[in-house]
Amino acid sequence: MSKLVVALPLLQSLVSITIPIAGVAADVSMLPGEDELRDTDTAVVETASMAGIDGLLARLADTRVVFVGESHDRYEDHLNQLRIIRGLHQQGRSLAIGMEFFQQPFQPVLDAFVAGEIGEAELLRQTEYFERWRYDYRLYRPILRYAREHGIPLIALNVPKEITDKVGDAGIDSLTAAEAEQIPADIDRDHQAYRDRVKAVFDMHPKDEDADFEHFLDVQLLWDEGMAERAARFVEASPEHTLVVLAGAGHVEYGHGIPQRLTRRVEVPAATVISGAMRPFDPAMADFLLYPKRIELPASGLLGVMLDTQSDGEGIGVQGFSEDSGAKAAGVEEGDRIVGVGGASIDDYADIRIALMDRRPGETLSVEVLREKLIGQPQRLSFDVQLH
């Protein structure tokens, strides 16, 4: 039996498929007739014209706003954000960095951090980073350190979580007059493609039976309109600055989220950049698509405890353990209250995250706890815990 080898070009690689056939006649019979041909809506990428980040930076020379979308937990996305920020800064541009993951009421804290008045630990505590965002701070740390080192303003873009939580439960109409003053007065609800995309996300995720799509849509609109309005105010007030906006790819792709809502408020040259990794290729998704290699952060060491962040008292309570808990193996018990880790005092959840941030699995740390006694004052105990 003869064989036909068909080479299929896939961007930068060739895939060969071997198809057994009975002879030359079979070769012809396998081809579709003219009436069977269909438009495959195929996009063609000329690989010879692909550029690196330096080429991208040259193309961004005339922009006032650069939106760089991210997958929040992908370190390579944040490294590329830093490369773009550093490259634009080295071009001599006056930059500012707008950040989704800080909320607008905490702008004075960002100003104090850039000015060198507070350090990273206080930045994280005072912005309530771990309660309001929770993603590993080490993903963003190189960007924040670069901004501080070079005096680049950081702009808190997002609306307060208290507002979006309330709207998610009961809609925009549930806001008080004082709360309504904290959201944009101009909210565009008429963009059908945006609504369709949000509906697809709503349908895809698990939800309670009483989940309301209109409330879900309201939250998305508050995020996008709120960030766009804050960014637009900065752009108008600081015409000498180029603003680099860092936000989730869903707020940037197709321009439907923050970009079009910003340019509706202020007409400026803008560009969108997102990672094409893990997404179907679509040239309409952004002005520039990046295809980085995967880069992982080193694992942080864990105590293996479930924390009780609601109860009152000194330190923070232990309400359970993971299956492979170093803390439990060392002698920590449910009901204990952790008051120290590795020599650092623990008052709340942020303190634990900060104390463990740069620790590695296998390290041994002293953990101090308070343990209630039937009679008398709580007992202060110390354990040597191997991090897992």
| Tens digit of each residue's pLDDT (9 = 90 or more) over 206-231 | 878 778 999 999 999 999 999 999 99
Query: Which percentage of the chain shows pLDDT scores above 70?
Result: 90
Residue 95 in contact with residue 85, Cβ under 8 Å? yes
| Three-state DSSP class for residue 344 | strand
Decide: helix, strand or coil at residue 248. Answer: strand
Q: What sections of the chain are H helices per DSSP?
A: 24-29, 53-59, 75-90, 107-114, 120-126, 129-132, 141-150, 161-170, 177-180, 192-204, 213-237, 258-265, 326-330, 349-356
Q: Which residue in this structure is represented by tokens 């009901």?
A: 335
Residue-range domains of the chain with CATH: 1-32 (no CATH), 53-290 (3.40.50.11550), 305-386 (2.30.42.10)
Angle made by CA atoms 123, 125, 126, in degrees to the nearest 5: 70
Cα dihedral 76→77→79→83 (10° resolution): 130
Sign, CA torsion 327/332/333/336:
negative
Beta-carbon contacts of 160 under 8 Å, excluding residues fewer than 6 positions away, are: 103, 104, 105, 182
Asked whether 268 and 71 are in contact (CB, 8 A), the reply is: no
Let me know if 84 is exposed, middle or buried by CB neighbors in 10 A (0-12, 13-18, 19+): buried
Beta pairing partners, 321: 305
Helix/strand/coil for 266: coil
pLDDT digits (tens, 9 = 90+) for 105-148: 999 999 999 999 999 999 999 999 999 998 999 999 999 999 99
Going by their DSSP bridges, the two strands 154-158 and 94-103 should be labelled as: parallel
Query: Tokens representing 119?
Result: 């350090």
Q: What's the confidence (pLDDT) of residue 357?
A: 96
CA dihedral over 258, 250, 135, 137, signed as positive or negative: negative
43 Cβ partners below 8 Å, 6+ apart?
A: 281, 282, 283
Backbone angles phi, psi at 385, to 5 degrees: -110, 125
Nearest Cα residue to 316 out of 305, 300, 329, 325: 305
Q: What's the pLDDT tens digit per position in 62-112?
A: 999 999 999 999 999 999 999 999 999 999 999 999 999 999 999 999 999
Q: At what angle do helices 107-114 and 141-150 cross, to 10 degrees?
A: 60
Q: Tell me the pLDDT band of 295, cut-offs 50, 70 and 90.
A: very high
For tokens 């309504």, what's the residue? 180
Task: State in Å, rounded, how far the first CA of the chain is from the last one.
Answer: 58
- State what percent of residues in the chain have pLDDT above 90: 81
Q: ∠ at Cα 13 (7, 18), nearest 5°?
A: 30
- CA neighbor of 179 nearest in space, from 169, 194, 192, 189: 169
For residues 168-185, give the mean pLDDT.
93
Residue 5 in this model has a pLDDT that exceeds 50: no
Which of 23-37, 58-72, 234-248 comes out lowest in average pLDDT? 23-37
Least confident of 11-25, 224-238, 320-334, 352-366: 11-25
Do residues 77 and 292 touch, judged by C-beta distance below 8 A? yes
Q: Which of 235, 284, 265, 227 is nearest to 100 (CA)?
A: 227
Instruction: Kindly tell me if the per-residue pLDDT of 273 is higher than 80.
Output: yes
Would you say residue 20 has pLDDT above 50?
no
What pLDDT shows up at residue 21? 41
Distances (CA, A) of 372 to 299, 337, 349, 379: 33, 9, 20, 6
Q: Residue 375 above 50 pLDDT? A: yes
- Predicted confidence at residue 31, as pLDDT, reads 61
Distance in angstroms (rounded) separating the CA atoms of residues 225 and 48: 39
User: Can you give the pTM of this predicted structure?
Assistant: 0.87
Q: Is the pLDDT of residue 3 over 80?
A: no
Mean pLDDT of the chain: 90
Instruction: Between 283 and 118, name the one with better pLDDT.
Output: 118
- Any idea what DSSP says for residue 49? G
